[in-house]
Amino acid sequence: MSETSTAALIHDVRWEIDYRVRLGRAWSRFMRGLRDRKLLASTCDHCDRTYLPPQSYCEACYEPITRWQECEPVGTLRTATIVYQGFDGGPQAPYAVGAIEIDGTHSLLMHFVGGVDLSDVDAARKALRGGVRVRAVWADERTAAITDIAHFAVAPAQP
Amino acid sequence: MRDHAVIAGVGFTEATSPRRQELSKNELCRLAVDRALEHAGCDRRDIDVVIIGDIAGFEASSVAARTIAPALGLPPYTTVLPICTGGTTGGHLPNQAAALIRAGFAQRVLCVAPNTFDGPVDLQAVINTNSPMVMEQPLGMGAVHMGAFFPAAYQERYGVTDADFELLATKNRENADHNPFAHVTSALSAEHAARMVSTPLRLGMVCPVSSGAIALVVGAESVVGGQAGHPVARITAAQSISDGYLGGKRRDFSTFEVVEVMARRAYREAQVVDPRSEFDVVELFNPYAPMEFMLMEAFGLCPYGGAPELLRKGVTRYGGDLPVNLSGGIQCTNPGVAGQISPVAHIATQLMGQATARQVEGARRGLAHSTGGTFFQFHTATVLERVDL
Ligand SMILES: [Zn+2]
């Protein structure tokens, strides 16, 4: 006779499933632009809002968007977080992620922020305050993905 | 005749860490349901509709309602409504129940909020599927990192210090000490709590992964109100709102702009004129402690940037005139969909005079909020009022 236990009995269940995601026209054009070191935004014909990431319709007035423009890959950091505890399969911590307003756009682009020493938390938090200017650093190998930008580097302080 | 919707019964199970949970999902939900039905003085055969919450991808099988519904002992003709909005599913359950009852479609609705976070071996891997794929997911943002953007911006805009956030997190853990259904309490070591996860969030400000279930009986006031044998909680406002999907759609992370809009709608519906003086008790969804400050402000409970001062003055503590998260909040207990419904469940028991945590004497009106999804895409608000029948 086996002993009766009330401890939890747990079985592993595993599904191994891969997915394919079609990016659509606007995001495909955007990602292929990144491969060519071009940052492409789209501007609403109706209300002049400029979207980056671009989109093929305007969220504000729901008009279709046909105007595209290349942006200088510079902008202003609005908010950032410095990650000291990442996750399995993610980048090696510490790293910083920010919300960046590319000049001339009306949306925020989320991306890695680099060029700051993260070993000292307090100094790094001061360096990554809102308002800091940043510029895209292109990845050497580009595959038409958001990571074709390696990160946005904080511009060195003006003398 | 249109009838009010009231919460007549609340059933909690104890929250534990997932590895200590001995009950299956069905057993746990049945336990919560049995307690809610008993509390409401309601027979399970009288239930018209059961609404069961779910979060896609969080179960080993899709749509948990398929397995849970048959395990509840309900009549075979009971309507089963699964709800899955991802984050904030739980907040939608009582609101949808109220909609069905007010419309005259149902008289007794059972809301089941299962333990949703204890299935995945690596919860973080599943939560990462919540991050906007293709555009933002490859950028090292898990749930906590997405959550960190808000307090980072809030802190910078209003000059709120790390110490203010830590004081808030400590207040909530002390509240949890008095809640038998809480998971993390002030037993959490200071060293553990101080560990930086993603600036400005430290481990003590971040919710645990909990296992537990909550059920509610929501009914037509004229039908169930007199059966409970205790005061019931009338739902006087049930609102929801959504924000953009990409994080970059927020534009300004220092406020929850959409919550301000939702609050105005809820206050109009419930005829609340001055929320600061008219609410006796408030539960705001705070998987990351600093959100409590930001939500208090978006709900108009104080001016923008003014919430830390209310905490320091003791206004939002037990004994203050606007106690917030007396349950300890989500920061201390987060069992997924059960966590999302818990603000409503805790406010309901406060108004019944049967608080799970410390009771606010004579509490008559309360506010419950829930949120979730990518960069807090979805929010719900429920205003509740005590009814003596
Ligand atoms: Zn437009």
> In terms of domains, do B104 and B115 share one?
yes
Largest CA-CA distance found in chain B, in angstroms, rounded: 58
How many A from CA of A41 to the centre of ligand 1? 14
> In terms of domains, do B272 and B347 share one?
yes
**Range(s) of the domain holding residue B154:** 134-208+235-387
Closest by Cα among B297, B289, B288, B283 to B368: B283
Residue contact B248–A146, C-beta within 8 A:
no
The residues, ordered by sequence, that sit 6+ positions from B292 with a Cβ below 8 Å of its Cβ are: B168, B172, B284, B286, B307, B324, B325, B329, B331
What DSSP line would sit under B202-239, residue for residue? EGGGB----B--EEEEEEEHHHHTTTSSS-EEEEEEEE
- A-chain residues near B142 (CB < 8 A): 86-87, 90
- CA B351 – CA B30 distance, rounded (Å): 25
Window A:111-130, CB contacts with B under 8 Å: 111-112, 121, 124-125, 129-130
| C-alpha of B10 from chain center | 14
Q: Please write the tens of the pLDDT for every residue from A32-56.
A: 999 999 999 999 999 999 999 999 9
Phi–psi pair at B96, nearest 5 degrees: -70, -40
Q: What residues have their beta carbon closer than 5 A to ion ligand 1?
A: A 44, 46-47, 58, 60-61
CB distance B209 to B118 below 8 Å:
yes
Dihedral over alpha carbons A23, A29, A30, A35 (to 10 degrees): 110
> In terms of domains, do B87 and B15 share one?
yes
**How many other CB atoms sit within 10 Å of the CB of residue A130?**
18
Using a 10 angstrom Cβ sphere, with 0-12 exposed, 13-18 middle and 19 or more buried, the burial of residue A52 is buried
- CA B5 – CA B17 distance, rounded (Å): 34
Q: Which two tokens stand for residue B99?
A: 């909609």
- B-chain residues near A148 (CB < 8 A): none
- CA B244 – CA B231 distance, rounded (Å): 39
B129 belongs to a structural domain: no
Window A:66-85, CB contacts with B under 8 Å: 78-85
Question: Which DSSP helix (H) or strand (E) runs through A68?
Answer: strand A67-71
Every domain of chain A and the residues it spans:
24-154
The residues, ordered by sequence, that sit 6+ positions from B274 with a Cβ below 8 Å of its Cβ are: none
pLDDT value at residue B265: 98
Q: Which two tokens stand for residue A25?
A: 């026209």
pLDDT value at residue B231: 97
Q: Look at residue B176 and give its three-state secondary structure.
A: helix
Q: B253 to chain A, minimum CA–CA distance in Å?
A: 7
- B-chain residues near A88 (CB < 8 A): 122, 124-125
Q: Please write the tens of the pLDDT for every residue from A58-70.
A: 988 999 999 999 9
Q: Which two tokens stand for residue B184?
A: 């993390």
The residues, ordered by sequence, that sit 6+ positions from B77 with a Cβ below 8 Å of its Cβ are: none
> In terms of domains, do B63 and B139 share one?
no
> In terms of domains, do B14 and B89 share one?
yes
Q: B131 to chain A, minimum CA–CA distance in Å?
A: 12
- CA A107 – CA A122 distance, rounded (Å): 28
> In terms of domains, do B201 and B92 share one?
no
What pTM was computed for the model? Answer: 0.95
CB distance B212 to B29 below 8 Å:
no
> In terms of domains, do B284 and B317 share one?
yes
**How many other CB atoms sit within 10 Å of the CB of residue B147?**
24
- A-chain residues near B248 (CB < 8 A): 53, 99, 107-110
- CA B152 – CA A50 distance, rounded (Å): 26
User: Which value does ipTM take for this structure?
Assistant: 0.92
Q: Which two tokens stand for residue A93?
A: 């911590």
B106 belongs to a structural domain: yes
B150 belongs to a structural domain: yes
pLDDT value at residue B1: 53
Residue contact A121–B197, C-beta within 8 A:
no
**How many other CB atoms sit within 10 Å of the CB of residue B23?**
17
Q: B290 to chain A, minimum CA–CA distance in Å?
A: 14
- CA A134 – CA A115 distance, rounded (Å): 9
pLDDT value at residue A66: 93
B159 belongs to a structural domain: yes
pLDDT value at residue B198: 97
Banded pLDDT at A157 (limits 50, 70, 90):
low
- CA B70 – CA B297 distance, rounded (Å): 43
- A-chain residues near B152 (CB < 8 A): 79-81
Rounded alpha-carbon distances, angstroms, from residue A136 to A101, A151, B132, B249, B363: 12, 6, 21, 20, 55
> In terms of domains, do B176 and B71 share one?
no
Using a CB–CB cutoff of 8 Å, tell me whether A21 touches chain B: yes
How many residues are present in chain B? Answer: 389
pLDDT value at residue A116: 94
Find the chain B residues whose C-beta atoms sit closer than 8 A to any C-beta of A: 19-22, 60, 121-122, 124-125, 128, 133-136, 138-142, 144-145, 148-149, 152-153, 156, 195-201, 244, 246-254
How many A from CA of A67 to the centre of ligand 1? 11
How many A from CA of A107 to the centre of ligand 1? 13
* End-of-domain residue from the set B232, B264, B299: B232
pLDDT value at residue A158: 55
Counting the structural domains of chain B, the total is 2
Question: Which DSSP helix (H) or strand (E) runs through B162?
Answer: helix B162-176
CATH code for the domain of B40: 3.40.47.10
Q: Look at residue B268 and give its three-state secondary structure.
A: helix
Residue contact B249–A81, C-beta within 8 A:
no
> In terms of domains, do B63 and B161 share one?
no
> In terms of domains, do B201 and B293 share one?
yes
For an interface test with B, the pick among A11, A58, A83, A128 (most B C-beta atoms closer than 10 Å) comes out as A83
- CA B240 – CA B250 distance, rounded (Å): 17
Cα first-last separation, chain B: 19
pLDDT tens for chain B, 389 residues: list them: 579 999 999 999 988 888 888 899 999 999 999 999 999 999 999 999 999 998 877 777 777 888 899 999 998 889 999 998 877 899 999 999 999 999 999 999 999 999 887 777 787 777 777 788 899 989 999 889 999 999 999 999 999 999 999 999 999 999 999 999 999 999 999 999 999 999 999 999 999 999 999 999 999 999 998 899 999 999 999 999 999 889 988 889 999 999 999 999 999 999 999 999 999 999 999 999 999 999 999 999 999 999 999 999 999 999 999 999 999 999 999 999 999 999 999 999 999 999 999 999 999 999 999 999 889 999 999 999 999 98
B126 belongs to a structural domain: no
CB distance A83 to A94 below 8 Å:
yes
- Beta-bridged to residue B111, according to DSSP, are B51, B216
For an interface test with A, the pick among B67, B199, B243 (most A C-beta atoms closer than 10 Å) comes out as B199
The residues, ordered by sequence, that sit 6+ positions from A119 with a Cβ below 8 Å of its Cβ are: A94
Using a CB–CB cutoff of 8 Å, tell me whether A8 touches chain B: yes
- A-chain residues near B197 (CB < 8 A): 83-85
Cis bond before residue B200 (omega within 30° of 0): yes
CB distance B229 to B52 below 8 Å:
no
- CA B139 – CA B21 distance, rounded (Å): 34
How many A from CA of A20 to the centre of ligand 1? 30
| Residue of chain A whose alpha carbon sits nearest to that of B121 | A12
> In terms of domains, do B322 and B180 share one?
yes
* End-of-domain residue from the set B232, B264, B280: B232
